[in-house]
A and B are shown apart, each in its own frame.
Chain A
Amino acid sequence: MERDPHGFVEGVLLSAYAIRAQAAYIYVRGEYRLPHDRVKAAIAEARAKNLVGRNILGSDFSCEVHMHRGGGAYICGEETGLMESLEGKRGHPRPKPPFPAMFGLWGQPTTVNNVETVFNVPFIMERGSAWFAGLGTANSKGNFLCGISGHVAKPGVYEFTFGITAKEILEQHAGGMWKGRGLKAWFPGGSSCALLTGKDVDVVLDHDSLRARGSSLGTAAMIMIDDHTSMARVMEIIARFYDHESCGQCSQCREGTQWLSQIFHRIAQGKGQPDDVATLEALAKGMAPGKTICALSDAAAIPTLSAVRLFKDELLECVRQKRDPLAQPTPAYAVAGGHHS
């Protein structure tokens, strides 16, 4: 959106033409001002060339492209929450069925796709589907954007072809772990997928290989965690995020995300109770899978279950010692802020 907004608008128009959609909405998180402004300018340029609007290039195909800036709620990334938000309501995900293809935005048939997906379309149209299908692995075709963050020397967003290993990305592109430290654990695709340990870094990054290791590629936003880090603290931060972002409709998610957050907080503070780790596991199982309207509850439960499975001893040690042995002084920037201030 920032570097090739015209290519993205082209993808939007081609996709809309393919399904004969008369309107396309680009929902951008409100904080993302630069991509918003650049795409908006690109739409204006396209309109001036009669590539957007009525009777595009003299054809009988008309398509309006709208930009919308969201208020920054995580749940508005869920496709039905996004549509509710676009309609001017609270971003509460809708129960499915009916699915968006049947009853979507303002009741019209709708498809919701990521910008990343749509951006592939012009390239496929130009070079052919055989070219695209030739990229990647058996069931994961093409390229993906990988945002690598955490304790790495060169965090950033990289584009790779499916089939590369996490180890290659970490060592050859992200400059390895920072300060020469070891890799303790990592999220292959954002904080809502299951944690993997350092041993799993040799995994091939595609959907099948990650599923075989008990995790998933998710958004391919890899988060690398070094061996000086407390898992209690990592999970405290992640659980707090989901507590903050739950829309609050479903009982399990509203209460469960708060509960997980409270327990991880206590464990990290050295105030854990002997039954806390078992409770974490039971709660996470009560929150997922498929027990709620959308997958946010699952997104909080899955990393919790993996943390309890892989780092049970570390969490129990925090409880036993009544302190977190790996606790680090809270950096000054994190003291005042915090979601719950």
Chain B
Amino acid sequence: LPTVVKIIVNGREVEADPKKPLIKACHDSGVDVPMYCYHPGLEPVGSCRICQVEVKQGEAPARVMVACRTQPAEGMVVDTESPKAHATRKECLEFLLKNHPLDCPICDKAGECDLQDYTYAEGQAAGRTHEERRELDKRKSLGDTIVLDQERCILCSRCVRFFEEVPKQAQLTVSNLGSRSVIATFMDRPLQGKYQGNIADLCPVGALTLKKFRFQARVWNLVKMASTCGECSRGCSTTVEVLRGADVKRVRPRENEAVNKFWMCDIGRFAFERHNRPGRMEGAALRDGAKLVPHPVEDALTRLRDELMREKSAAWILSPWCTIEEGERAKALAARLGHQLCFVSPAPNGEKDDLLHTGDPCPNRRGLSDLGIAGLEAAKALEAAKGAKLVVLLGERIVELLGAGEIARVDATRTAVHLVDEFALDVPCVRSVFGAANCVERVGTWANVDGVRGPISAVKAPPIGARSPARLMDELVRLMPKLQESAR
């Protein structure tokens, strides 16, 4: 087979890979062809029959055929908008809608449902059926993650094939025959493993929903931004979805051939709940005797600057959630001030698998290491802290990584700790605390285990007065005397 063939799609010549189905060539050239059973990450089975397009090859008369089971061939002429193709798709939709409950007003998928969208697109406004719709289990639990609505299911079998083809462990099947078919697990066993959430993304209708997203939001009210998962060093590309500027409601994988294809694990998918915790640190606080007292941020920063410039026996300990940009700033600051610099490097967490999870919980280990910053285990980092007179703990989760109890044991008479984190820690050694923006509240870049860079985005605003560590360091530098050109 040639590696590339020229075909004509809706009057425009495009190049196509003859080993990939025709529907892929149409999508890649910006032409929308409806699909239910086809998914670019799964083997095409050609069963839903919705992707009908008109194809003319050589002298044979044009035929309407399914684009997902047709291989592109040199000179093929494809018309996705021919009256015959439209008519065939419209017929197919009428069949698919015959038993569909049409409960869009209470369906979580409404607004991002392929059945809804293509029904509008093909102008299927009325049905001819006089029959009662199929009555099946409307809320069948498939374990801790997924709920199945058998009535909404259009039996595209994407979920079945996902478990067979991606984690390569079949868990779902189509049970029964014909119009009595339903999706089921063997003996109604709950789904296993940490890739279950993907089938809710794959489901083209509202049949498979996440327990954690059911009835949480109308999808058109969600603000969605490209981001990167922070739960391991794979750094799966994600879309973070926030409801009305407040809570993160959902995180979904974003297609990235170089990293995660179309998938992500449930650990990363559901880690967003930590971003919705109350009690975040706002602005800054300084130690006043026995307790931390809120303080204007600018003034607190000025005091921090003074101490940093005065103290030579000092260490900066970064969180591995710090971005490359934050690493660069910390490196420059530590070099200028003659301070030590390291990042906390936790041990593998035992979640490593063959698919995506690396077992290394640090999303930016590679980025910080490539900057020449040393990674130290929590105990070693604490030792370094105890040996210094001034310590800056910087970045989200830094207290979690070092342990609040361990930090509390730092001798307050010897070492002054300045903390930049999402939450305050009121222990004697902590002299000042600055509220930090987390990875859904600031912009930056992480580098994954293979060095592939991924962005994080500010999908929502951080608490009032909280800053990204990058901005905090920029403000510190601005408060310092200008460096001579030669010193740069």
Asked whether, in the complex, the Cβ of A255 is within 8 Å of the Cβ of B99, the reply is yes
Q: Choose the segment among B177-185, B254-262, B331-339, B452-460 that binds chain A (4+ C-beta atoms closer than 8 Å).
A: B177-185
Q: Which of A247, A254, A286 has the most CB of B within 10 A?
A: A254
> Within the complex, which residue of B46, B130, B181 is in contact with A248, where a contact is CB–CB below 8 Å?
B181
Asked whether, in the complex, the Cβ of A248 is within 8 Å of the Cβ of B179, the reply is yes
Q: Which of B98, B157, B174 has the most CB of A within 10 A?
A: B98
- Smallest distance from the beta carbon of A33 to chain B beta carbons, Å? 23
Which residues on B sit within 8 Å (CB–CB) of A159? none
Chain A residue nearest to B64 (CB atoms) is: A291
Asked whether, in the complex, the Cβ of B49 is within 8 Å of the Cβ of A258, the reply is no
Asked whether, in the complex, the Cβ of A243 is within 8 Å of the Cβ of B95, the reply is no
For the complex, give the distance between the alpha carbons of A252 and B157 in Å. 15
Asked whether, in the complex, the Cβ of B130 is within 8 Å of the Cβ of A273, the reply is yes
> Within the complex, which residue of B52, B69, B95, B177 is in contact with A255, where a contact is CB–CB below 8 Å?
B95
Which of under 10, 10 to 19, 20 to 34, or 35 or more describes the interface residues of B?
Answer: 20 to 34
Asked whether, in the complex, the Cβ of B47 is within 8 Å of the Cβ of A243, the reply is no
For the complex, give the distance between the alpha carbons of A95 and B181 in Å. 19
Which residues on A sit within 8 Å (CB–CB) of B91? 252, 285-286, 291
- Smallest distance from the beta carbon of B418 to chain A beta carbons, Å? 63
Which residues on B sit within 8 Å (CB–CB) of A155? none
- Smallest distance from the beta carbon of B132 to chain A beta carbons, Å? 9
Which residues on A sit within 8 Å (CB–CB) of B50? 251
Instruction: Given A252-B92, A255-B95, check contact A245 B49 (CB 8 Å).
Output: no
Asked whether, in the complex, the Cβ of B177 is within 8 Å of the Cβ of A244, the reply is yes
- Smallest distance from the beta carbon of B390 to chain A beta carbons, Å? 68
Tell me whether B216 is interfacial, beta carbon within 8 Å: no
Q: Which of A227-265 contact B (CB under 8 A)?
A: 243-259, 262-263
Tell me whether A137 is interfacial, beta carbon within 8 Å: no
Tell me whether B45 is interfacial, beta carbon within 8 Å: yes
Tell me whether B219 is interfacial, beta carbon within 8 Å: no
For the complex, give the distance between the alpha carbons of A273 and B176 in Å. 30
Asked whether, in the complex, the Cβ of A262 is within 8 Å of the Cβ of B128, the reply is no
Tell me whether B48 is interfacial, beta carbon within 8 Å: yes
For the complex, give the distance between the alpha carbons of A262 and B131 in Å. 7
Asked whether, in the complex, the Cβ of B178 is within 8 Å of the Cβ of A250, the reply is no
Q: Which of B84-130 contact A (CB under 8 A)?
A: 88, 91-92, 94-96, 98-99, 128-130
> Within the complex, which residue of B47, B98, B131, B177 is in contact with A250, where a contact is CB–CB below 8 Å?
B47
Tell me whether B264 is interfacial, beta carbon within 8 Å: no
For the complex, give the distance between the alpha carbons of A282 and B87 in Å. 12
Asked whether, in the complex, the Cβ of B174 is within 8 Å of the Cβ of A248, the reply is yes
Q: Which of B221-276 contact A (CB under 8 A)?
A: none
For the complex, give the distance between the alpha carbons of A253 and B177 in Å. 11
Asked whether, in the complex, the Cβ of B46 is within 8 Å of the Cβ of A256, the reply is no
Asked whether, in the complex, the Cβ of B49 is within 8 Å of the Cβ of A248, the reply is no
Tell me whether A151 is interfacial, beta carbon within 8 Å: no
- Smallest distance from the beta carbon of B161 to chain A beta carbons, Å? 12
Asked whether, in the complex, the Cβ of A255 is within 8 Å of the Cβ of B179, the reply is yes
Which residues on A sit within 8 Å (CB–CB) of B176? 248
Tell me whether A126 is interfacial, beta carbon within 8 Å: no
Tell me whether B330 is interfacial, beta carbon within 8 Å: no
Instruction: Given A95-B45, A259-B129, check contact A251 B92 (CB 8 Å).
Output: yes
For the complex, give the distance between the alpha carbons of A215 and B69 in Å. 30
Chain B residue nearest to A96 (CB atoms) is: B69
- Smallest distance from the beta carbon of A252 to chain B beta carbons, Å? 5
**What secondary structure prevails in chain A residues at the interface with B?**
helix
> Within the complex, which residue of B52, B88, B130, B157 is in contact with A266, where a contact is CB–CB below 8 Å?
B130
Asked whether, in the complex, the Cβ of A248 is within 8 Å of the Cβ of B96, the reply is no
Which residues on B sit within 8 Å (CB–CB) of A244? 177-178
Which residues on A sit within 8 Å (CB–CB) of B129? 259
Asked whether, in the complex, the Cβ of B98 is within 8 Å of the Cβ of A245, the reply is no
Instruction: Given A243-B179, A248-B174, check contact A259 B98 (CB 8 Å).
Output: yes
Instruction: Given A95-B69, A286-B94, check contact A257 B48 (CB 8 Å).
Output: no
Number of A-B contacts (CB under 8 A): 92
Asked whether, in the complex, the Cβ of A255 is within 8 Å of the Cβ of B131, the reply is no
Instruction: Given A255-B96, A255-B98, A262-B131, check contact A245 B48 (CB 8 Å).
Output: no
Which of under 10, 10 to 19, 20 to 34, or 35 or more describes the interface residues of A?
Answer: 20 to 34
Asked whether, in the complex, the Cβ of A293 is within 8 Å of the Cβ of B177, the reply is no
Which residues on B sit within 8 Å (CB–CB) of A14? none
Q: B357-373, CB under 8 A of A: which get 1 and which 0?
A: 00000000000000000
Which residues on B sit within 8 Å (CB–CB) of A245? 177-178
Instruction: Given A95-B69, A256-B95, check contact A247 B49 (CB 8 Å).
Output: no
Which residues on A sit within 8 Å (CB–CB) of B94? 286
For the complex, give the distance between the alpha carbons of A257 and B129 in Å. 13
Asked whether, in the complex, the Cβ of A251 is within 8 Å of the Cβ of B128, the reply is no
For the complex, give the distance between the alpha carbons of A245 and B180 in Å. 10
Which residues on A sit within 8 Å (CB–CB) of B179? 243, 246, 248, 254-255, 257-258
Instruction: Given A251-B96, A255-B95, A262-B131, check contact A292 B174 (CB 8 Å).
Output: no
- Smallest distance from the beta carbon of A89 to chain B beta carbons, Å? 10
Tell me whether B429 is interfacial, beta carbon within 8 Å: no
Tell me whether A90 is interfacial, beta carbon within 8 Å: yes
Asked whether, in the complex, the Cβ of B46 is within 8 Å of the Cβ of A95, the reply is yes
- Smallest distance from the beta carbon of B23 to chain A beta carbons, Å? 13
Tell me whether A60 is interfacial, beta carbon within 8 Å: no
Q: Which of B114-169 contact A (CB under 8 A)?
A: 128-131, 154-155, 157
Asked whether, in the complex, the Cβ of B95 is within 8 Å of the Cβ of A252, the reply is yes
Instruction: Given A251-B95, A252-B92, A286-B95, check contact A258 B178 (CB 8 Å).
Output: yes
Which residues on A sit within 8 Å (CB–CB) of B52? 291
Asked whether, in the complex, the Cβ of B178 is within 8 Å of the Cβ of A248, the reply is yes
Q: B424-452, CB under 8 A of A: which get 1 and which 0?
A: 00000000000000000000000000000
- Smallest distance from the beta carbon of A274 to chain B beta carbons, Å? 11
Asked whether, in the complex, the Cβ of A243 is within 8 Å of the Cβ of B46, the reply is no
- Smallest distance from the beta carbon of B219 to chain A beta carbons, Å? 25
Tell me whether A220 is interfacial, beta carbon within 8 Å: no
For the complex, give the distance between the alpha carbons of A266 and B50 in Å. 29
Asked whether, in the complex, the Cβ of B48 is within 8 Å of the Cβ of A251, the reply is yes
For the complex, give the distance between the alpha carbons of A250 and B37 in Å. 10
For the complex, give the distance between the alpha carbons of A249 and B49 in Å. 9
Q: B27-52, CB under 8 A of A: which get 1 and which 0?
A: 00000000000000000011111101
Chain A residue nearest to B181 (CB atoms) is: A248
For the complex, give the distance between the alpha carbons of A229 and B143 in Å. 52
Asked whether, in the complex, the Cβ of B88 is within 8 Å of the Cβ of A291, the reply is yes
> Within the complex, which residue of B45, B69, B128, B177 is in contact with A275, where a contact is CB–CB below 8 Å?
B128
Asked whether, in the complex, the Cβ of B178 is within 8 Å of the Cβ of A254, the reply is yes
Chain B residue nearest to A271 (CB atoms) is: B130
Return 23 A-B CB contacts under 8 Å, by A number. Answer: A95-B45, A95-B46, A95-B47, A243-B178, A245-B178, A246-B177, A246-B179, A247-B177, A247-B178, A250-B48, A250-B49, A252-B91, A255-B96, A255-B99, A263-B130, A263-B131, A266-B130, A273-B130, A276-B130, A286-B91, A291-B49, A291-B88, A293-B47
13 additional A-B pairs beyond A249-B45, A276-B130, A291-B49, beta carbons within 8 Å, are A73-B177, A248-B155, A250-B48, A251-B48, A252-B49, A253-B178, A254-B155, A258-B99, A259-B95, A259-B129, A263-B130, A266-B130, A293-B47
Binding site for A on B (CB under 8 A): 45-50, 52, 66, 69, 88, 91-92, 94-96, 98-99, 128-131, 154-155, 157, 173-174, 176-181
